[in-house]
Amino acid sequence: MTNALLHSAVSLLAFALASALSSPSPSPLHSFYIFLGSAIFATHPLRAEVVAWLSCQPYLLASCFSLLSLLLYTPGLAPAPSTLRSRLSPLFYALALLSKSAAVPVVAIFILLDVFPSRNLLKTTLSSASKNAACILLSLGFAAKQLRPNTELGYMRTESLPPPQQLLAKLHSLSSYIALTLDP
């Protein structure tokens, strides 16, 4: 029951984010398309096990907190962002990272939201990266944590390997982490 409620919240947040990212006064047809996309997502999630299995609850929490963070960040594109919103967005992003490390790429969406409407790509990217420095550092910390070999689960310790094999083991960890980030 909890997973179904969380999935409903994620669906509503996806609708709210799509509405916030659309034009200020969308046409009725455009609003209908946003509603239709959200309704399809709500009734047929990409991964049904996230709603059905209790062990997948961290994915729903990470999605919920990530969407909340993005929703609070989106009004930050206006010339004078709210101080409360600018403080809550990184907080919800941190909660998403604590729920599941699959939320690491959300920081790239923050930067894309700043860069997309701009014409000066380099200047906007650098200013957005400095504005989101705390979120970038959080992402790097969680990514580094995931790259560390986990000895509790029976993985091999890399310290006992020769340096070339250590490098291969760490590259394998990196490729596995990227694969899990793209397809959890």
pLDDT in tens, 3-14: 888 888 988 988
- Please provide the size of the chain in residues: 184
Residues whose CB falls within 8 Å of the CB of residue 76, separated by 6 or more in sequence, listed in order: 82, 85, 86, 89
- Alpha-carbon radius of gyration of the chain: 19
Q: What is the per-residue pLDDT for 154?
A: 47
End-to-end CA distance of the chain: 22
Percent of the chain with pLDDT over 90: 1
Q: Report which of 45, 46, 44, 41 is spatially closest to residue 18, judged by C-alpha positions.
A: 41
Q: Give yes or no for a contact between 17 and 38, defined as CB atoms under 8 angstroms apart.
A: no
Q: What is the per-residue pLDDT for 118?
A: 65
CA pair distance 94, 99, nearest whole angstrom: 9
CA pair distance 62, 76, nearest whole angstrom: 21
Residue that is written with structure tokens 């209908």 in the block: 32
Low-confidence ranges of the chain (pLDDT < 70): 45-47, 75-82, 117-121, 145-160, 181-184
Q: What is the per-residue pLDDT for 52?
A: 73
Q: What is the per-residue pLDDT for 65?
A: 92
Q: Give yes or no for a contact between 19 and 71, defined as CB atoms under 8 angstroms apart.
A: no
3-state SS assignment for residue 165: helix
Q: Give yes or no for a contact between 108 and 125, defined as CB atoms under 8 angstroms apart.
A: no
Q: What is the per-residue pLDDT for 157?
A: 62
**Alpha carbon distances (Å) from 154 to 36, 50, 112, 147:** 46, 26, 39, 15
Q: Give yes or no for a contact between 132 and 115, defined as CB atoms under 8 angstroms apart.
A: no
